[in-house]
Amino acid sequence: MKKSICMAMVMILAAFWLTGCSSTKLADGFDEATVKETVQKAVDHLIAGEYEECMEMMSQEMQEALTEEALAAAAGDVMAAAGEFQEYKSIAVVGQKDQSGADCAVAVAVASFENNKITYTVSFNADMEIIGFYMK
């Protein structure tokens, strides 16, 4: 139950920030390689159980909406079922605009684990802070 509530909160916050997105071109303020490195760093923290470090990468709004305990519970459950991490299959980056019209970057990282794959969708603001996080 807690896991569902936590994931719903993260998805709602991500949807809130990305409402009205239409562009897929990465804005000039973002560097594709940096976005890819940053999403990989965030996911690496989750895989290692370093939830505090992952939380530190999030915007103030995300930190207020999602506690470290909630992140640990949601991520821990999903990744425990997935088994041991093997490799990143792909990381793609697109540009979008948030609800206020500000440019943001969305990275989709597909990670292969022992038992299945997990897709991480992570949104970043211009300061490269996480403003949306979803895993499936």
Say how many C-beta atoms besides its own lie within 10 A of residue 101's C-beta: 7
Query: In degrees rounded to 5, what are phi and psi of residue 115?
Result: -100, -20
pLDDT tens digits along 97-129: 888 888 999 999 999 999 999 999 999 999 999
Contact between residue 17 and residue 123 where contact means Cβ atoms under 8 Å apart: yes
SS3 assignment, position 80: helix
Mean confidence (pLDDT) of the chain: 85
* Structure confidence at residue 78 (pLDDT): 87
Distance from C-alpha of 17 to C-alpha of 125, rounded to nearest angstrom: 10
The predicted model scores a pTM of: 0.81
Please state the rounded mean pLDDT for residues 21-48: 89
Report whether pLDDT(17) > 60. Answer: no
pLDDT tens digits along 63-84: 999 999 999 998 888 888 899 9
